[in-house]
A and B are shown apart, each in its own frame.
Chain A
Amino acid sequence: GAVVSQHPSWVICKSGTSVKIECRSLDFQATTMFWYRQFPKQSLMLMATSNEGSKATYEQGVEKDKFLINHASLTLSTLTVTSAHPEDSSFYICSARDWTSDRYEQYFGPGTRLTVT
């Protein structure tokens, strides 16, 4: 149980275009999901907290208009990188918590590698 999937696993896009990344909780419901980015040989950096049915909460320094987050259902959150540039190339990882459980660990997706050319 407690599986989180991401789609796509990797994507290449041209500078100036937008790309959408999906995060799904496959066997549990998640009112809250989290989005991270990770540059090579660095740690995960929390970008935003995605709340089902409401606006996401962004961490300081993360541009909300560039990284659009939608959490329209209890099993799906999407991250759209708008007007992507090469510096947005990174590994994007989502996580989710089973809100019906009394356990509080987050379950992480396998990540999406974005390359902007």
Chain B
Amino acid sequence: DAKTTQPPSMDCAEGRAANLPCNHSTISGNEYVYWYRQIHSQGPQYIIHGLKNNETNEMASLIITEDRKSSTLILPHATLRDTAVYYCIVRPPSGTYKYIFGTGTRLKVLA
């Protein structure tokens, strides 16, 4: 079973920040949090990942709570092209590093 839970859907106005939460309360100390998104009928696209510290790249920011039981993906200025399903995944620290996808959040950016 997936180790993450996310709200099924969210709306965001174009140009505003989109904040997507993820709960991973059973995460262990050396497991990473990864975020991907899937635009309709395409393969998932990597966005960002982190372990303990907050991370930022050209696509998004990742905020991980101090207890690591939850995280938030922030798209600072959402555009219509950000409409997608966003998946939060906990990556095991060793072995095959396989992903177990949860149900994800369907983000709809509104004009």
Interfacial residues, chain A to chain B (CB-CB below 8 A): 4, 6, 32, 34, 36, 43-46, 49, 57, 91, 93, 95, 97, 104-111, 113
Pick from B43, B102, B104: contact of A108, CB below 8 A: B43
B: interface residue count bin: 20 to 34
- How far is it, in angstroms, between the C-alpha of A44 and the C-alpha of B104 when the chains are bound? 10
Taken together as a complex, chains A and B put the C-alpha atoms of A57 and B96 apart, in Å, by 10
Question: In whole Å, how far is A29's beta carbon from the nearest beta carbon of chain B?
Answer: 16
Contact indicator B91/A104 (Cβ below 8 Å): yes
Q: Which residue on chain B has the smallest CB distance to residue A108?
A: B43
| Bound Cα distance A33, B101 (Å) | 16
Query: Please, which residue of chain B has its CB at the minimum distance from the CB of A57?
Result: B96
Contact A105 to B46, CB < 8 A, known contacts A43-B104, A91-B41, A111-B41: yes
Q: Name the distance in Å between B20's Cβ and chain A's nearest Cβ.
A: 15
- Assess A34 versus B101: contact at CB under 8 Å? Given A4-B43, A105-B46, A111-B43: no
Contact yes or no, A43 B43, CB < 8 A:
no
What chain A residues lie within 8 Å of B91 (beta carbons)?
Answer: 104
Name 15 extra pairs, CB < 8 A, besides A46-B98, A95-B99, A105-B34.
Answer: A36-B101, A43-B102, A43-B104, A44-B38, A44-B44, A46-B100, A46-B101, A49-B98, A57-B96, A93-B44, A95-B44, A104-B97, A106-B46, A110-B43, A111-B41
Residues of B that sit less than 8 Å from A by CB:
32, 34, 36, 38, 41-46, 49, 87, 91, 96-104
A-B pairs, top 3 by smallest CB distance, nearest first, are: A108-B43, A44-B101, A43-B101
In Å, the complex CA distance between A93 and B39 comes to 13
Residue with the highest number of chain A CB atoms closer than 10 Å, among B36, B91, B97, B98: B98
Question: Judging by beta carbons under 8 Å apart, are B103 and A110 in contact?
Answer: no
In the assembled complex, which residues on chain A have CB atoms less than 8 Å from the CB atom of B97? 32, 97, 104, 106
A-B contact pairs, 6 of them (CB 8 A): A43-B102, A43-B103, A104-B97, A105-B49, A106-B99, A109-B43
A97→B45 CA distance, assembly (Å): 13
Question: Which of A43, A45, A49, A113 has the most chain B CB atoms closer than 10 A to its own CB?
Answer: A43
> Complex formed: what's the CA distance from A49 to B32 in Å?
20
State A107–B104 Cα separation when bound (angstroms): 18
